[in-house]
Structure 1
């Protein structure tokens, strides 16, 4: 049996163990998956535990996607480019960092046939998830990005990127509004990073949160007849890519669709 897990600081409401269990069942893989929550000062020991206990691989979530890098033996070219790791492969006594969030985020657009080229997007947040979103959009031909930070002065504007703060959003509009912050995540489901007036200025609203299924931000979008999407596609997409790396296999798109439908219903049942 192969053994996998998830590293994070607060994991009480994660769907990852149930998601991986279902993937293994569907593919007939003899494997188990467990969430490991721990405080930041234990990260080095946790990584050492992967080596000592011959755990075959782990996923990594906030706040460790960048902090884990110094403890790994190598990064694939993609994780190195993004400076973020969400999947660790333990093979031949080496810990190799990968990033499957990029592909997971892309699934949101692929499944809906939403175009990116020549569009404008606003990204809320500047953390690790925001970097993934920014890189994916730039790689796929976005015309311009408006990146919202509490401290935009820390960043330098470029031809493609404009940094601004939350107090200056009334002057911006565009095609996509993408929330990468945890504001509105369970259990704080009444919160929204923006109000309805800003939502009105964008055509499509994406929230990387998947629990609740319909965040307050997405509800504002629905009320204004916007296209909306939550982060479940990204969660499933990155998990599938991680399993493909760990088990050296290829997973059909039909199973991805089935998993998304199944867990959409699961999240809805928890309302």
Structure 2
């Protein structure tokens, strides 16, 4: 690092579990870019200061994670079309003192899913959660699949489902956590259930409700094998951990900030090295 180093980072609460700094800094080094990525723990009551602070420091941009993906919007100057559609932001670019919000979560999740099982179209998909990540994934996958939003608070599930229906003109279902999984093709956990440090937390779905012919994806990547994925493996279901989404959404953010395509394998290996230790 020197006086010319460009600063990007992550804001969230908490952030100590995040491996985004490891991944991005490895990618910057690989491309010989003079950037550094840091994680900042920002409590909700301090969020209103972040954008002005980032501008004042000359930051190039930052990622946004739980619980700020929706709330950050009110402090931004502009939104990409995708971020407007989804109503959540996970990436911010600052250029000419203008903070622009983007969302790379949806495309990141689709790329991770399709890397494992091929093109995803005309499937029945249940997404657990109704927060920022769930919004992005639901909007993306509802474009060409039947999606059901399942959330602990039914009203939040209903609200998100109706919003997607109105914006995409596609039918979207909603339910509480006891959603019927009988004819579902893909189950996606977009909640923090099972995330470090709560690695032994009761899974959002038990093995009794899962089937061998299902695909079960968990957006949590720390740990790679969550309690949900352990349950899915017990019945022989195809499992997909959160590493792919982390990498692909990160790669899209990397391009937004730098204009350069990162090396996906460098990003993947940097994370696996940490998780194996």
For normalisation by structure 1, the TM-score amounts to 0.91
| Corresponding residue number in structure 2 for 1:6 | 10
C-alpha separation in 2, matches of 1:197 and 1:50 = 48
* Structure with larger RCO (C-alpha < 8 A, sep 6+): 2
- Of 75, 78, 84, 1:74 maps to 78
Summarize the alignment of residues 236-255 of structure 1 with structure 2, pairs less than 5 Å apart: 236-251=247-262, 255=263
1:265 Cα deviation (Å)? 4.2
| Corresponding residue number in structure 1 for 2:119 | 115
| Corresponding residue number in structure 1 for 2:152 | 150
3-state SS of 1:193 partner? coil
How many matched pairs? 263
C-alpha separation in 1, matches of 2:105 and 2:78 = 18
* CA deviation string 1:177-215 (max 9, x = no partner): 110111111111112111111123761100000011101
Q: Tell me, yes or no, if structure 1 residue 61 matches structure 2 residue 65.
A: yes
C-alpha separation in 2, matches of 1:148 and 1:95 = 33
1:30 Cα deviation (Å)? 0.6
C-alpha separation in 2, matches of 1:41 and 1:216 = 32
In structure 2, the CA distance between the partners of 1:222 and 1:64, relative to structure 1 (3 Å rule), is: same
C-alpha separation in 2, matches of 1:265 and 1:222 = 24
C-alpha separation in 2, matches of 1:262 and 1:205 = 25
| Corresponding residue number in structure 1 for 2:200 | 190
| Corresponding residue number in structure 2 for 1:219 | 230
- Of 26, 29, 33, 2:33 maps to 29
C-alpha separation in 2, matches of 1:218 and 1:194 = 10
> Which segment is superposed worse, 55-64 or 103-112?
103-112
In structure 2, the CA distance between the partners of 1:40 and 1:263, relative to structure 1 (3 Å rule), is: same
| Corresponding residue number in structure 1 for 2:96 | 92
* CA deviation string 1:59-106 (max 9, x = no partner): 111111111111111111111111111111111111111111122112
Structure 1, unaligned runs of 5 or more: none
Give me the CA root mean square deviation: 1.8
1:135 Cα deviation (Å)? 1.1
1:161 Cα deviation (Å)? 1.8
| Corresponding residue number in structure 2 for 1:263 | 271
C-alpha separation in 2, matches of 1:161 and 1:94 = 35
C-alpha separation in 1, matches of 2:271 and 2:244 = 10
> Contact (CA 8 Å) 1:214, 1:230: kept in 2 or not?
yes
> Which segment is superposed worse, 158-167 or 41-50?
158-167
> Contact (CA 8 Å) 1:177, 1:202: kept in 2 or not?
no
- Of 42, 52, 62, 2:46 maps to 42
1:38 Cα deviation (Å)? 1.8
C-alpha separation in 1, matches of 2:68 and 2:208 = 34
